[in-house]
């Protein structure tokens, strides 16, 4: 019997639709997964929705199970949690995370799914891909005990970084964001908060995730001499101006990029699977529930995405719920 599923596709920049798609298999060493939740971040995914992926980055920006090409039609996404319905006996019935787009059911290699620990609710597990980005950023940043640290940009990625830094011994950690409502997020994560003009300076390390040139400029201002900015923002096709005159050189400041597509060279012995498994273990902390700031059924995605992309819905991670999710 022919099986089908339903998937969200970006038909053209700014316009999405739900399509019926064929479902094959599963074959040997594959799994059939029924989605429970997927997540939409207002960062990369909304840039894709607006058609702002530069042509030079089309290959680098491909998601693992993307179909179609930028700017569209394209099926894009990477935060999915579901239940294995068919496949190897050890996985059947397990809740798993997969870097898969928004789709009701899907078939992937068994090696592409990671079991969710029993200590992590399925709803929270959609954050695994973003917490994995935060893990990689901190491997790159290599904070030291007692460091004075600012995280500039309280979106999904910045807040995930702040959540992990909150556990770091002796560190002074402040989440910096222009939106005063992010103070509630910072409190839930156990870190300080300030708007940009009031942020504490003298930082040994600043992690920048606001995706604005103003945020990056302020990050440089917050550093002490010899300090480092870890740049996590992705700007799509926008140009960014930086104040590299004045005291940038005399203070010997550093700007270093970090990107989750490559495991940090600071951890040469660790694999992508190791990093994702660590992210899922870290999600046992209920404080990270503060990053899930909205929920909608899958059928509403075509109407929801324009509102997320425009900022009308000021979400961190917006949860997409599939039929049967409430039972798990």
Which residues are 203's β-sheet partners? 223
Structure token pair of residue 20? 């019926």
Please report where in the chains the tokens 């556990």 appear, as a residue: 167
Q: Where are the beta strands (DSSP E) in the chain?
A: 3-12, 15-23, 30-41, 67-68, 74-75, 80-86, 95-98, 105-109, 113-115, 148-152, 172-176, 192-194, 203-208, 223-231, 254-257, 292-297, 317-321
Strands 95-98 and 113-115: antiparallel
Domain with CATH 3.40.50.720 in the chain: 130-257
| Residue that wins the pLDDT comparison between 283 and 234 | 283
| Mean model confidence pLDDT for the chain | 94
Check the CA dihedral 262-267-272-277 and report its sign: negative
Bond preceding residue 71 cis, omega within 30 of 0: yes
Q: What confidence tens digit (pLDDT) does each residue in 257-300 have? A: 998 889 999 999 999 999 999 999 999 999 999 999 999 999 99
CA gap 108, 26 in Å, rounded: 8
Residue 327: is its pLDDT beyond 60? no
pLDDT at 236: 75
CA gap 312, 135 in Å, rounded: 29
How far, CA to CA in Å, does 217 sit from each of 38, 243, 255, 317?
34, 7, 11, 26
| Residue that wins the pLDDT comparison between 136 and 42 | 136
Domain with CATH 3.90.180.10 in the chain: 3-127+283-327
Find out if CATH 3.90.180.10 is the number for domain 3-127+283-327.
yes
pLDDT at 326: 59
Which fold does the domain 130-257 belong to in CATH? Rossmann fold (3.40.50)
User: pTM for this structure?
Assistant: 0.91
The torsion defined by the Cα of 273, 99, 54 and 266, in degrees rounded to 10, comes to: -20
pLDDT at 172: 98
Residue 184: is its pLDDT beyond 80? yes
């Amino acid at each position: 019997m022919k099986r089908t599923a339903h998937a969200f596709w970006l038909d053209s920049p700014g316009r999405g639709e739900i399509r019926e798609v064929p479902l094959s298999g599963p074959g040997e060493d594959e799994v059939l997964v029924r989605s429970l939740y997927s997540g939409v971040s207002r960062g990369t995914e909304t840039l894709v929705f607006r058609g702002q992926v530069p042509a030079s980055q089309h290959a680098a920006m491909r998601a693992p199970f993307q179909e179609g090409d930028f700017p569209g039609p394209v099926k894009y996404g990477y935060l999915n949690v579901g239940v294995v319905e068919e496949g190897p006996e050890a996985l059947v019935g397990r809740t798993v995370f997969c870097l898969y787009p928004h789709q009701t059911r899907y078939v992937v290699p068994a090696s592409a799914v990671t079991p969710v620990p029993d200590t992590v609710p399925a709803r929270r597990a959609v954050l695994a891909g973003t917490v994995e980005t935060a893990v990689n950023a901190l491997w790159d940043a290599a904070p030291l005990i007692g460091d004075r640290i600012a995280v500039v940009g309280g979106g999904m990625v910045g807040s995930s970084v702040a959540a992990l830094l909150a556990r770091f011994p002796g560190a002074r950690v402040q989440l910096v964001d222009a939106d005063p409502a992010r103070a509630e997020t910072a409190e839930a994560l156990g870190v300080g908060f300030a708007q940009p003009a009031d942020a504490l300076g003298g930082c040994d390390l600043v992690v920048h995730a606001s995706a604005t040139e103003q945020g990056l400029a302020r990050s440089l201002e917050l550093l002490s001499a010899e300090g480092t900015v870890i740049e996590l923002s992705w700007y799509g096709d926008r140009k960014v101006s930086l104040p590299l005159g004045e005291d940038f050189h005399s203070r010997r400041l550093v700007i270093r990029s970090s990107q989750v597509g490559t495991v940090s060279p600071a951890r040469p012995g660790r694999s992508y699977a190791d990093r994702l498994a660590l992210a899922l273990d870290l999600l046992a902390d209920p404080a990270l529930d503060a990053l899930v700031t909205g929920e909608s059924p899958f059928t509403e995605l075509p109407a929801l995405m324009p509102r997320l992309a425009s900022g009308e819905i000021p979400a961190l991670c917006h949860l997409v719920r599939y039929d049967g999710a409430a039972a798990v």
